[in-house]
Amino acid sequence: MSQFELKPTRGSLKNRKRIGRGPASGQGGTAGRGMNGQMSRSGSKKRPWFEGGQMPLQRRVPKRGFTNIFKKKFQVVNVSRLDVFPDGDTVTPGSLYEKGIVSKRFVPVKILGGGEISKKLDVKVAATTKSVEEKITKAGGTVAAVTEETVKKSKS
């Protein structure tokens, strides 16, 4: 058997509709578009979300609340995670990133009060809670707030 002898299975191929070719084509008059309506007219198009004059879904669903576009996003770390640092070390967003505690290097870090800390550390992050400050100073360390500009300067 050669390649030129191959033929499709009988009945598997259909001739395409040749619309707009007069009454003898079987699609005469309306050319297969039906009688009336938007899609029977020439140049008709519909956006994918168009619902035929019905109130669209994005206008039907209730809108509630408010999204503050100026909200500051922090990476949060519990104070117990800082025990991986040696005694007397300085904790910065960069050092937290290198230890794998935070996933992004230049996004501000906030330390929360979950757990305890036993090491004397110098913590320099964007924000902390009051309980964290008490825990770190009780262990003999210090807490300092680092501004976003300082973090951005260390980026370059």
DSSP string, the chain: --GGG--PPTTS--PPP--SS-GGGTTTTTTTS-SSSGGGSTT----TT--TTSPPHHHHS---S---TTPPP-EEEEGGGGGGSPTTPEE-HHHHHHTTSSS-TTS-EEEE--S---S--EEEESEE-HHHHHHHHHTT-EEEE--HHHHHHHH-
- Find all residues with CB under 8 Å of 86, minimum gap 6, and list them: 119
**pLDDT score of 113:** 87
Between CA 23 and CA 16 the distance in angstroms is 16
Domain annotation covers residue 96: yes
**pLDDT score of 152:** 61
Sign of CA dihedral 85, 91, 96, 102: positive
**pLDDT score of 106:** 87
Between CA 41 and CA 46 the distance in angstroms is 12
**pLDDT score of 10:** 93
Domain annotation covers residue 139: yes
Answer for the pair 105, 71: CB distance below 8 angstroms, yes or no. Answer: no
Domain annotation covers residue 35: no
Structural domains of the chain, count: 1
**pLDDT score of 38:** 87
Residue that is written with structure tokens 């395409």 in the block:
16
Domain annotation covers residue 49: no
- Provide the token pair at 113: 């009060």
**pLDDT score of 151:** 59
Between CA 117 and CA 91 the distance in angstroms is 13
**pLDDT score of 156:** 54
* Gyration radius of the chain over CA positions: 34
- Find all residues with CB under 8 Å of 154, minimum gap 6, and list them: 94
Domain that holds residue 98: 75-155
Domain annotation covers residue 84: yes
Domain annotation covers residue 30: no
Residues of the chain with pLDDT under 70: 148-156
Domain annotation covers residue 116: yes
pTM of the shown model = 0.56
The CATH number that applies at residue 88 is 3.100.10.10
Domain annotation covers residue 65: no
